[in-house]
Amino acid sequence: MLKRFRYRAYLTRPDQEAALNRTFGCARVVYNDVIHAREEAHKAGLPFPKTGDLSKQLITLAKLSPERAWLSEV
């Protein structure tokens, strides 16, 4: 059985919406990077990468790259 939870946020300041959008945008980008890395490992016949290894590898390296430097701001 799958459960679903729905939440509603009542934002009181204009900057809160921008902060939430930025945070969820970063989470989406990192999630897509992880999915891509796992698919590539599967295609190459490598073992399934562990979450901790992916965190070190993808997030840390992404923050150091110029095109993903904005991940460090969140």
Q: Can you give the residue ranges of every domain in the chain?
A: 16-73
pLDDT of residue 43: 94
Query: pTM of this prediction?
Result: 0.73
For residues 40 and 57, is the Cβ–Cβ distance under 8 A? no
The string of pLDDT tens digits covering residues 5-47 is 999 989 999 899 999 999 999 889 888 988 998 999 999 998 8
Closest CA to 57 of 31, 28, 37, 27: 37
